[in-house]
């Protein structure tokens, strides 16, 4: 299973980013290899469409599960279309959230907020 988590810094000790589309980095964790990599979120600086682009990039990374605090409806549509499960993050480190995914102690994230709020 491959897990993605929005990260404020490139470290497993980092806190989770509260934003999805404009999170600075994503932690990609491969549960079989027990390996984590951190990728830059190219969508972070976008005035609009950040959620769609970030979701597309995670689809391209072939992730199975996303852990996040909140999610816009556009991003949610892309992720659910790609059958990616979204779990509600807890306010702890990246490493703690990975451990909680593995112990099946995170709930699914069901509520989404309207996306595309920044339109010029």
Partner 1 sequence: MKIAVLSGKGGTGKTLVSVNLAAVADKGGYFDCDVEEPNGHLFLKPSLIGEEEVTSLKPVVDMDRCDGCKVCVTACVYKALAYIPGELMIFDEICHACGLCTYLCPQQALKETKRVIGTIRRGERGSLSVHTGKMRIGESTGVPIIKKLLKKLDDDLSIIDSPPGSGCLVLETIEHADYCLLVAEPTMFGAQNLALVHELTRVMNKPAGVLLNKVEDGLNPSELYAKEHDLKILASLPYDSYAALESSNAELLVERSEKYRTFFLELLKEVVDEATLAAQR
* Interface ranges with partner 1 (CB under 8 A): 43, 46, 48-50, 52-53, 55-56, 59, 74, 77-78, 81-82, 116, 119-120
The Cα–Cα gap between 26 and 14 comes to 11
What are the beta bridge partners of residue 99? none
Q: Which is nearer to partner 1, 7 or 78 (CB)?
A: 78
Distance CA 94, CA 31 (A): 14
Q: Which CB, 52 or 109, lies closer to partner 1?
A: 52
In angstroms, the CA 6 to CA 19 distance is 7
| Identity of the residue, 33 or 45, whose beta carbon is nearer to partner 1 in the bound complex | 45
Least distance between partner 1 and beta carbon 46 (Å): 6
Report the nearest approach of partner 1 to the CB of residue 113 (Å).
Answer: 14
Do residues 56 and 43 lie in contact, with contact meaning Cβ atoms separated by under 8 Å? Answer: no
């Amino acid at each position: 299973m491959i897990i993605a988590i929005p990260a404020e810094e490139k470290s497993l000790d980092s806190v989770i980013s509260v934003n999805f589309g404009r999170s600075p980095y994503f932690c990609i964790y491969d549960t079989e290899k027990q390996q984590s990599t951190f990728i830059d979120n190219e969508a972070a600086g976008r005035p609009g469409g950040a959620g769609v682009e970030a979701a597309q990039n995670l689809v391209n990374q072939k992730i199975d599960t996303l852990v996040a605090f909140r999610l816009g409806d556009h991003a949610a549509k892309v992720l659910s279309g790609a059958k990616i499960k979204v779990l509600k993050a807890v306010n702890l480190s990246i490493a703690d959230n990975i451990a909680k995914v593995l112990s099946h102690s995170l709930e699914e994230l069901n509520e989404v907020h309207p996306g595309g709020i920044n339109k010029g």
